[in-house]
Amino acid sequence: MTKWTVGDIPDQQGRTFIVTGANSGLGEVAARALGAAGATVVLACRDTAKGEAVAREIGANAQVRELDLADLSSVREFAAGVDGADVLVNNAGVMAVPLRRTADGFEMQIGTNHLGHFALTGLVLDRIRDRVVTMSSGFHVLGSIDLDDLNWQQRRYRRWAAYGQSKLANLLFTYELQRRLSRAGSTVRAVASHPGYASTNLQAHTESVQDKMMAVGNRVFAQSAQMGALPMLYAATSADVDGGSYYGPDGPFEQRGYPKVVHSNKKSMDHAVAQGLWDLSEELTGVRYA
């Protein structure tokens, strides 16, 4: 793969993208790039005021709709208003936050990063024409899926292990979704990406001394959000993307660089765990995939 940049995004005129968390960070960068390529972009975000500011700069081909992935009633309301889209980009997320619960009682990281997107995808999948792109992370290697205590109700809460579990869940979901789409004879593709180490506001919400440490890391080591968004944009727009593939940066340790096919760990390939997580996710969210 050559050094792919936003300049290589094909013309997206006539195509519609839903991008979660598009009011800031990688989602905002992606929304701007897609809008510049001619796409209609739906900025699905909790902070609609920030989303409206971004949409005004993108232009008439951008619209904002409220979506709180930590509240299944909000997810259902959003999904009910979706007429159709070519691509759903499951980008929004939280990282290493203190122990909190979503409106439905889920641990905040698995609830937002995985269960919210699982429910959203299931509710709109019959209106997605091309692909579903889900954001994971290199931190998936820190995670293990505990099907008996997915929401940290019995274990001592560890914020980074919880984040790793949610990002591992994103990959298990993507691969299992692709297997199900293939069995159903669907042409819709499920794809995953990760940004490497990108400087965004994601690192500023641990509410601990780690915020200051990561702020230094963002300035010294991280690549820009514009570079970090490239694997997601490639996964969302390239004609060469295969279902079930995973994209990240091509630099050392996948921390920075241009998009390439990357590989996830052995845990993400466990079909039995993927099936168990899928069944549990349906049970917890009440969303059954057709």
Q: What is the pLDDT of residue 248?
A: 98
CA nearest to 147, candidates 266, 289, 270:
270
- Joined together, the tokens standing for residue 221 give 């080591």
Predicted pLDDT at 290: 84
Work out the average pLDDT over 221-243. Answer: 94
The predicted model scores a pTM of: 0.93
**Reported confidence tier of residue 1, pLDDT bands at 50, 70, 90:** low
The pLDDT assigned to 213 comes to 46
Q: Which pair of structure tokens corresponds to residue 111?
A: 């609830």
The answer to whether the beta carbons of residues 249 and 223 sit under 8 Å apart is: yes
Residues 6+ positions from 107 with CB-CB distance below 8 Å = 99, 100, 101, 150, 151, 152, 153, 157, 162
163 is catalytic: yes
Half-sphere exposure (CA, 13 Å, Cβ side) for 172?
Answer: 31
What rounded mean pLDDT belongs to the chain? 94
Residue 211: the pLDDT is 54
pLDDT, residue 2, reads 77
Residue 125, amino acid: L
Give the separation between CA 182 and CA 167, rounded to whole angstroms.
23
**pLDDT (average), residues 103-131:** 98
pLDDT at res. 159:
97
Q: Distance (Å, rounded) from C-alpha 93 to C-alpha 117?
A: 10
Cα–Cα dist 190/182, whole Å: 10
Q: Which residues of 123-137 are buried (b: 16+ CB within 10 A; e: fewer)?
A: bbbeebebbbbbbbb
The closest of 168, 186, 170 to 178, measured between CA atoms, is 186
Catalytic position from the list 157, 163, 258, 289 = 163
Size of the chain in residues: 290
Would you state the pLDDT for residue 209? 47
Q: What is the pLDDT of residues 36-57, one digit of tens each?
A: 999 999 999 999 999 999 999 9
Q: Quick one: what percent of the chain has pLDDT higher than 90?
A: 90
286: left (phi over 0), alpha (psi -120 to 50) or beta: left
Domains of the chain by start residue, with CATH: 11-285 (3.40.50.720)
In this prediction, residues 165-184 reach a mean pLDDT of 98
Mean predicted confidence (pLDDT) in 265-284: 98
Asked if 93 and 117 touch (Cβ cutoff 8 Å), the reply is: no
Task: Summarize pLDDT for 191-225 with one digit per residue, the tens.
Answer: 999 999 987 665 444 555 445 444 444 454 579 99
